[in-house]
Amino acid sequence: MSCFGIYWREREGENEELHEVRRTHKQLKEDKHLHGPTHRLLLLGPVGSGKSTLFKQVKMLHGPEFDRASERASEVQKIRNTLKEAIENVLLAMSSLQPPAELAHPENQFRVDYILGTRDNPSFSFPPEFFEHVKALWEDEGVHSCYDRCTQTGMLDHSCYFLDKIDVIRKPHYKPNPEDLFHCHLHIPRIFDTMFKVEEVNFHMLYANGLYYTNQVWAEILKNFTAIIFVVDSSSYDQNFMGVNKLQEALNIFTSLWSRCPHPCLVLLFLNKQDLLAEKVLAATSKIEDHFPEFAHYTIPDDAPEPGEDPHVTRAKYFIRDKFLSITSAGGNEDSHCYPQFTCAMDHRNIQFVFSKCAPLLLHSVNERSCFQEGTEFN
């Protein structure tokens, strides 16, 4: 089985999803009358590679949604719920770890009982004692080390952002800033899109969250896009999903995608989670060559000028880049182009920078397709 956000094979309920795709495309077509020619970008990548995170960043960069004060105010409850969920998850994980994690200060046990006692209460009103208990527990070294163990093994995501900000969030007149809103879990519909402009050219970025398509539908869908953004978790070289190395699985999916791309095609390859990759490489606890033996003989290419960067990190990130580029340079799709970018989707500035670098590529791709396809319609 593929661990792709979009699967290749048939499965139950597919018709309903296909209807959703058709509805979205109809909507995009109607929007075109309002906004002029629109070029579509499809965001793809394996599960957990950072697609939603990237999507939210692009929305923040180009959309007005997060600027409205009233909208910010309405997010406060959501942010506090996210904080509550984060501490509950860490506390629940304490007993399920092997060996179990323990409180550094056992006298904090009543706080644990309080927090876990408030679970499944959708109308929780967040009294001051709630924040006191969370703060005391987050300062307990036992809770903290449990959190670290869980993030290292992938059991929990990096949800400490709000826990670290508890003193701000607990204030009665707390107003979330854009970064808070970004970190807050947003409800993501199954298919969604955002629109942005690059030098007066409209782009629609579409993200299909966990959708499943048949091969045939997949090929139809690819025809409708100016470019594909493929997101990879570069730090996943030492992780397995259902017995398959996650980076290898990303390479397999990319191979399959590349062979199906309509010609000519532009693929922006976002080698994401560069921060985690660098952390792993510098910590030297998990060696790339243990999972990809060919890394032992890999030398940094000439086009890898990364001044100020640790050479071990440069070597690792270019090795992963070149694994993907060896797929695109293998032949068979000469008129298509793949442009790799090193990204950290959590970092607003990095995404802004990467998109500004990609803008000319997108515009070039649009010009190349001067007979811009109106898009194959779904009937």
Ligand X SMILES: Nc1nc2c(ncn2[C@@H]2O[C@H](COP(=O)(O)OP(=O)(O)OP(=O)(O)O)[C@@H](O)[C@H]2O)c(=O)[nH]1
Q: Which two tokens stand for residue 377?
A: 């319609």
Selection from 16, 4, 43 nearest residue 222 by Cα: 43
Residue 47 interacts, among ligand X, Mg ion, none and using kind-specific CB cut-offs from 5 to 8 Å, with ligand X
Name the residue nearer to Mg ion (CB basis): 37 or 189: 189
Instruction: In angstroms, give the least distance from the CB of 158 to ligand X.
Output: 5
In the bound state with ligand X, the residue whose beta carbon lies nearer, of 48 and 340, is 48
**Helix/strand/coil (H/E/C) assignment for every residue in 171-215:** CCCCCCCHHHHHHCCCCCCCEEEEEEEECCEEEEEEEECCCECCH
Q: Of 63, 39, 56, which is closest to residue 358 (Cα–Cα)?
A: 39
Nearer to Mg ion, 51 or 280 (CB): 51
As measured in angstroms, the least distance from the Cβ of 89 to Mg ion is 18
> What does 45 bind: Mg ion, ligand X, none (CB cut-off 5 to 8 Å by kind)?
ligand X
How many other C-beta atoms can be found within 10 angstroms of the C-beta atom of residue 155?
15
Numbered residues of the known binding site for GTP:
272-275, 345
Binding site residues, Mg ion, CB under 5 A: 51-52
Pairing of the two strands 266-272 and 227-233: parallel
Longest CA–CA separation in the chain, Å: 71
Which lies closer to ligand X via its Cβ, residue 189 or residue 360?
189
Q: Which amino acid is at 13?
A: G
Minimal distance in Å, beta carbon 234 to ligand X?
A: 9
Q: How far is CA 184 from CA 281, 294, 310, 356, in A?
A: 29, 40, 32, 25
Residues annotated within the binding site for Mg(2+) are 52
For ligand X, the closer CB: 130 or 230: 230
194 binds, among ligand X, Mg ion, none (CB under 5 to 8 A by kind): none
When CB distances to Mg ion are compared, the closest residue is 52
Nearest alpha carbon to residue 269 among 358, 372, 204, 368:
358
CB of residue 170 vs ligand X: minimum separation in angstroms? 23
Instruction: Say if residue 12 is exposed, middle or buried (CB neighbours under 10 Å; 0-12, 13-18, 19+).
Output: exposed
Pick 192 or 196: Cβ nearer Mg ion: 192
Chain residues binding ligand X by CB under 6 A are 5, 45, 47-53, 157-158, 209, 272-273, 275-276, 344-346
272 contact, one of ligand X, Mg ion, none, CB 5-8 Å limit per kind? ligand X
Q: Cβ 110 to ligand X, closest distance in Å?
A: 31
- Partner in contact with 176, chosen from ligand X, Mg ion, none, beta carbon below 5 to 8 Å by kind: none
44 binds, among ligand X, Mg ion, none (CB under 5 to 8 A by kind): none
Give, in degrees to the nearest 5, the angle at Cα 361 between 359 and 363. Answer: 70
Residues with Cβ within 8 Å of residue 301, at least 6 apart in sequence: 318, 322
Shortest distance, position 209 Cβ to Mg ion, whole Å: 5
